[in-house]
């Protein structure tokens, strides 16, 4: 499809994002069913294509388009300078992904780069870049969910039953003071918990979350961190972060928000191993924390085995 203006491109991007908010994209279905039209993949296999494309889509959304949002919002950088950065960073990703399973996204990326120099204002350019970032986040969410993580059972440590060395230091935990209260509900599991938001600790971040409520998103399980579940949210926050906490130090029930890895809302339901510090968003109320055990187990099964869709709804309590 040809576009006649930046506005037409942005409208198409937003329409596509809305269409895949709660429905698997055709591109992802083609990967998992082996029906890519161009049959990309050496010697008739498509796992290599899927594996590389899934990793690139993750990095494309998290580490290319989110930084581009931050750059275009920085008024110290001219739009001409931004265009150079965009062309440099986008093309290697979008062109390969266009070939290896995401033709629609690739063509939209090309159209965006073509028309962005004609933006009538910085505000129009910012809106366009933010729209495309949200689109790639949604594609990354579906790509992650349907990737065959169950293959990981073939690559386990020699003694997987032994717990990983703990780096946790509970004395470094952030203690959430009573803030705005929200309810998290997982269906079809049928579990709800209430949580406080870190209204005093990260007020700008919390305001971005509140402005987007209510929303329902696909719930998935972490594949590296430990007993943690996360979901890509339908918002795009560049709010300043004032309070962070190492993942390994956090208590059961901690809620985090990762702007830089896809705008993910993260709930910790048990021990974790990563010593990275992440923005604190809130905490499940203590009397509901044990309800997370069932949720964590079911989400693990969904991500690694069944691929059953589990939906997390976040709303004001």
pTM (predicted TM-score):
0.96
Beta bridge partners of 182: 195, 316
Instruction: Set out the domains of the chain in order of their start, with CATH numbers.
Output: 6-147 (no CATH), 171-316 (2.40.100.20)
- 217/290 Cα distance (integer angstroms): 22
Whether residue 201 contacts residue 234, with contact meaning beta carbons closer than 8 Å, is answered with no
Q: pLDDT at position 166, please? A: 80
Count of CB atoms situated within 10 Å of the CB of 177: 10
Per-residue pLDDT of the chain (317 residues; tens, 9 = 90+): 799 999 999 999 999 999 999 999 999 999 899 999 999 999 999 999 999 999 999 999 999 999 999 999 999 999 999 999 999 999 999 999 999 999 999 999 999 999 999 999 999 999 999 999 999 999 999 999 999 999 998 999 998 878 778 888 888 999 887 789 999 999 999 999 999 999 999 999 999 999 999 999 999 999 999 999 999 999 999 999 999 999 999 999 999 999 999 999 999 999 998 999 999 999 999 999 999 999 999 999 999 999 999 999 999 99
281-316 as b/e: b if 16+ CB within 10 A = bbbbbeebbebbeebbebbbebbbeeeeebebbbee
In the three-class reduction of DSSP (H, G, I as helix; E, B as strand; rest coil), residue 206 is classed as helix
Beta bridge partners of 117: none
- 139/54 Cα distance (integer angstroms): 10
**DSSP labels for 225-269?**
SEEEEEEE-S---------EEEGGGPPTTEEEEETTTTSEEEEEE
Beta bridge partners of 228: 268
| Enclosing H/E stretch for 182 | strand 181-187
Contact partners, residue 291, CB within 8 Å, separation at least 6: 191, 192, 193
Contact partners, residue 109, CB within 8 Å, separation at least 6: 90, 94, 98, 132
């Amino acid at each position: 499809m040809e576009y006649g203006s930046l506005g037409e491109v942005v409208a198409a991007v937003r329409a596509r994002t809305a269409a895949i908010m709660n429905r698997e994209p055709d591109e992802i279905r083609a990967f998992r069913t082996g029906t890519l039209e161009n049959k990309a993949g050496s010697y008739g296999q498509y796992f290599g294509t899927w594996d590389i494309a899934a990793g690139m889509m993750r990095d494309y959304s998290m580490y290319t388009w989110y930084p581009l949002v931050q750059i275009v919002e920085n008024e110290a950088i001219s739009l001409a300078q931004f265009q150079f950065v965009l062309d440099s960073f986008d093309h290697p990703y979008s062109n390969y992904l266009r070939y290896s399973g995401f033709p629609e996204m690739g063509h939209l990326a090309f159209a965006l780069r073509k028309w962005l120099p004609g933006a009538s204002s910085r505000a129009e350019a910012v809106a366009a870049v933010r729209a495309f970032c949200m689109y790639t986040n949604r594609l990354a969410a579906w790509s992650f969910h349907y990737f065959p993580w169950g293959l990981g059972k073939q690559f386990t440590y020699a003694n997987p039953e032994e717990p990983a060395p703990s780096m946790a230091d509970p004395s470094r935990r952030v203690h959430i003071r009573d803030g705005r209260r929200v309810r998290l509900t997982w269906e079809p599991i049928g579990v709800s918990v209430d949580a406080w938001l870190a209204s005093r600790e990260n007020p700008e971040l919390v305001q971005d979350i509140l402005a987007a409520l209510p929303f329902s998103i696909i719930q998935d399980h972490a594949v590296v961190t430990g007993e943690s579940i996360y979901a890509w949210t339908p918002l795009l926050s560049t709010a300043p972060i004032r309070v962070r906490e190492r993942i390994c130090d956090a208590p059961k029930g901690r809620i985090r928000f990762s702007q830089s890895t896809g705008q993910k809302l993260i709930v910790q339901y048990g021990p974790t191993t990563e010593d990275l510090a992440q923005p604190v968003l809130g905490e499940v109320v203590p009397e509901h924390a044990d309800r997370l055990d069932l949720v964590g187990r079911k989400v693990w099964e969904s991500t690694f085995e069944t691929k059953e869709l589990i939906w997390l709804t976040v709303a004001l309590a």
